[in-house]
Amino acid sequence: MKLKRFKKAIIAGLVAVLVIGGVLVNHIKSKREESPLTPPTNMMPIDQGAFRMGSEHGALDEKPVHLVKLSSFLMDRDEVTYREYQEFVEECPEWRKESVDLDFADLNYLCDWDGLSFPSEKAEHPIVYISWYAARAYAEWMGKALPSEAQWEYASRGGFKNIDYPWGKDFKSHLTQWKESDVRGTVKGGRYSINGYGLQDVIGNAAEWTVDGYEMYMEDEQIDPSPSINRHLKVIRGGSWKSDWEDLRVSARRACRPNVCLPDVGFRCVFN
């Protein structure tokens, strides 16, 4: 009798494990369905490769030029728009303008919004007045990430060497939204140039947060460098509608506190 009871107890235990395991599997599946990790179609493939990061004729923080080798990744073709960011704040109430912690976004966060609404004419403009923390939260919600500085510069060069702009060595004012454009402010994404990887508006219009903390370069070769850990300053790339031609170069860097929200800074994401 004791042996039979022992066998029944073992069987009951196994059944319980299988049932609980099934519940956990279903729970994991449901979470993946809520936040799919499959990248959407508006991401462009960036082939693995190596490039010389920085510029010998740029600012001090663009030197020394150093070799970086990167694995392949995907990058958003376009900067994240107002319409796309609205979906995020609708699902994540902690990132609504009336709820966000000031440590993560200053008082300018979404300052052109009224609750969950933004100016309708800006639906396809790059989202601005966004902190680094908010950009990172959106990227993680999408199952993506902010690009590293190296990924951003490599992708922005479009597969070309020895260039200062996505299209070549010389600045061409009609190919980007910059401080001397007819319109002051952001414009609808995709209005200007596409680079060699099919990315739109990599310079001008809105500058873009990267995941990296701001640090000076080292001359050592790097392979898939980990993000720099400076928590006080994060790197912004790409220049914006407020930038002059020098700050629109693909090697130009800008540093800013991660909770600051500016009228000319947005972001795009990568999928590693």
Q: What is the phi-psi region of residue 115: left when phi exceeds 0, alpha when psi lies from -120 to 50, beta otherwise?
A: left
Closest listed residue to residue 222, CA positions, set 166, 271, 149, 136: 149
Residue 39 — very low, low, confident or very high, per pLDDT cuts 50/70/90? low
Q: What is the phi-psi region of residue 205: left when phi exceeds 0, alpha when psi lies from -120 to 50, beta otherwise?
A: left
Q: Average the pLDDT over 88-115 and give the result.
A: 97
- Strand pairing category for 207-213 and 265-266: parallel
Gap between the Cα atoms of 169 and 183, Å rounded? 25
Checking if the pLDDT of 237 tops 90, the result is yes
User: Residue 165: CB partners within 8 Å, gap ≥ 6?
Assistant: 171, 172, 175, 203, 248, 249, 250
Show the DSSP H helices in 35-148 as ranges: 82-91, 132-141
Residue 41 — very low, low, confident or very high, per pLDDT cuts 50/70/90? confident
In the DSSP assignment, the letter for residue 225 is: P
Gap between the Cα atoms of 242 and 265, Å rounded? 10
The mean pLDDT value of the chain amounts to 88
pLDDT digits (tens, 9 = 90+) for 159-184: 999 999 999 999 999 999 999 999 99
Confidence (pLDDT) at 37 = 52
Gap between the Cα atoms of 232 and 162, Å rounded? 32
pLDDT digits (tens, 9 = 90+) for 202-228: 999 999 999 999 999 999 999 999 999
| Identity of the amino acid at 175 | L
pLDDT digits (tens, 9 = 90+) for 179-209: 999 999 999 999 988 999 999 999 999 999 9
Q: Average the pLDDT over 10-32 and give the result.
A: 36
Confidence (pLDDT) at 193 = 80
The tokens 């966060």 sit on which residue?
Answer: 109
- Asked if residues 265 and 207 have their Cβ atoms less than 8 Å apart, the reply is yes
**What are the beta bridge partners of residue 81?**
126
pLDDT digits (tens, 9 = 90+) for 43-86: 999 999 999 999 999 999 999 999 999 999 999 999 999 999 99
